[in-house]
Amino acid sequence: MAQANWAGNVRFGAQRVETPSSVDEVRAVLASAGRVRALGSGHSFNLIADTDDTLLSTARLTAAPRIDPGARTVTVGAGMRYGELAPALEAEGWALANLASLPHISIAGAIATGTHGSGDTVGTLSSAVAALELVTPTGDVVTLRRGDRDFDGAVVSLGALGIVTEVTLDIEPTFAIRQRVYERLPLEVALAEFDVLMASAYSVSLFHRWDDPDVIDQVWTKARGDEAPRLPGDIAEATEQVHMLAGVTPEATTPQLGERGAWLDRLAHFKLSHTPSNGAELQSELLVPRTHAVGAIEAVRALADEVAPLVQVMEIRSMRADDLWLSPASGHDAIGLHFTWHQRQAEVETVVAKLEKALEPWGARPHWGKLTRLDADMLRSVWPRLGDFAELARRFDPEGKLRNPFLDRVLAAAG
């Protein structure tokens, strides 16, 4: 049965696709198949979910949210999308601390690949995980909680340990957000005042299209207070709703112009009811330690002539450090340099390889769900716990039932 990812650049080679709706059905699929890979909402741009045997879709693992007010957590089916969980939380007076740029992604898939939003004081989506329930390849049902021996290695798991069936997330009381967009900030000012700029609101994203290398096209701010952010430089606030991509109608973007509204309607860039971003695109991302942000952006600037013809936009976001072994923010605060490319894959892969090489001196980590060359030396140098993760994967999956070529390359890099 043919399956493709959201972007259409990956055609999965699975012989069959199963969509279990319960733990017992997940166990039955694992027992009857050879190799198995979990498939979420298909928003990855590489072969992380590919297999020549069985794809196990989490689309029906959508158990209704169970809120624990005392623990300030919610437990939910792994296949539920963030945009579906958010209204259920809001209806009960609760919220998530952050969302990714689009709410269309599945919870377990986003967590397993280290996906994130933006905010100096906010962690990745994975850092909000308080517990995981998963079915191992042998059929055992395992629950791992924050503080357990294997927990920090199991959250950003790349699907290497088992099929996640439920996730418990931290929640907090609901809050309001005001989103504003500012246009045309000189890159020189942005770099000189980078920390001030990124701390100017609860969540900040910088969008650069590279057609004019010396100007940040848009600064998106999401503030929890009523006051407008104080940004460095002479920059004007947009007076009408805008899209970060040139020439694209803004109807898919979440409300801007400083209008006060609920967190779930502002923290993501795009509405669940609309096609996110441009639809026809490829994506890559490199994440560097916060202390290397300026040097990394300048390294991208040096490749602007090669980036500009292929990129639709680059987004710069921040995130707080965590202790998860394969998280993009493991061990340090991080800055993400996210590229939305035109669908010219061969050319894009060439430029992605050049960007990865140029950013190696700055300790760049590739996003697990985006286009990347998976260079072994790079992986070993930026994830100190990669060897521990490889051992964890062997312990949970000694026969390699969950393995595929993507995962083989990652684990082989551990040595």
Write the pLDDT tens digit of every residue in 79-94.
999 999 999 999 999 9
Q: How many domains does the chain have?
A: 3
CATH number at residue 50: 3.30.43.10
CA dihedral 116, 350, 290, 155 (to 10 degrees): 40
Q: Which residue among 174, 203, 227 closes a domain?
A: 174
Residue 244 sits in the same domain as residue 348: yes
Residue 119 sits in the same domain as residue 260: no
Residue 7 sits in the same domain as residue 105: no
Instruction: Check residue 200 and give its pLDDT.
Output: 97
Residue 10 sits in the same domain as residue 73: no
Give the CA distances from residue 258 to residues 154, 176, 231, 236, in Å, rounded to whole numbers and listed in that order: 39, 11, 15, 13
Domain limits at 53? 3-57
- The answer as to whether 246 is a domain residue is yes
Q: Do residues 180 and 147 lie in contact, with contact meaning Cβ atoms separated by under 8 Å?
A: no
Residue 215 sits in the same domain as residue 348: yes
Hunting for tokens 């609901």 — which residue is that?
174
Residue 325 sits in the same domain as residue 300: yes
CATH number at residue 248: 3.30.70.2520
Instruction: Check residue 276 and give its pLDDT.
Output: 64
Positive or negative torsion for Cα 43, 45, 47, 50? positive
- CA-to-CA distance for 46 and 307, rounded, in angstroms? 20
Buried b (16+ CB within 10 A) or exposed e, 328-337: bbbbebbbbb
- The answer as to whether 404 is a domain residue is no
- The answer as to whether 326 is a domain residue is yes
Low-confidence stretches of the chain (pLDDT < 70) are: 1-2, 275-279
Can you read off the two tokens belonging to residue 49?
């979910």
Instruction: Check residue 169 and give its pLDDT.
Output: 98
Q: Do residues 358 and 303 lie in contact, with contact meaning Cβ atoms separated by under 8 Å?
A: yes
- The answer as to whether 13 is a domain residue is yes
Question: Tens digit of pLDDT for each residue in 217-270?
Answer: 999 999 998 889 999 988 999 999 999 999 999 999 999 999 999 999 999 999
Residue 215 sits in the same domain as residue 337: yes
Residue 111 sits in the same domain as residue 217: no
- The answer as to whether 412 is a domain residue is no
Neighbours of 384 (CB within 10 A): 11
Instruction: Check residue 277 and give its pLDDT.
Output: 59
Residue 297 sits in the same domain as residue 161: no
Q: How many CA atoms lie within 13 A of 73 on its CB side?
A: 15
Residue 222 sits in the same domain as residue 153: no
Closest of 190, 217, 220 to residue 204, by C-alpha: 220
Instruction: Check residue 119 and give its pLDDT.
Output: 98
Residue 275 sits in the same domain as residue 368: yes
Q: How many CA atoms lie within 13 A of 17 on its CB side?
A: 14
Residue 239 sits in the same domain as residue 271: yes
Q: How many CA atoms lie within 13 A of 268 on its CB side?
A: 26
CATH number at residue 143: 3.30.465.10
Instruction: Check residue 2 and give its pLDDT.
Output: 53
Whether the predicted model's global pTM rises above the 0.75 cut: yes
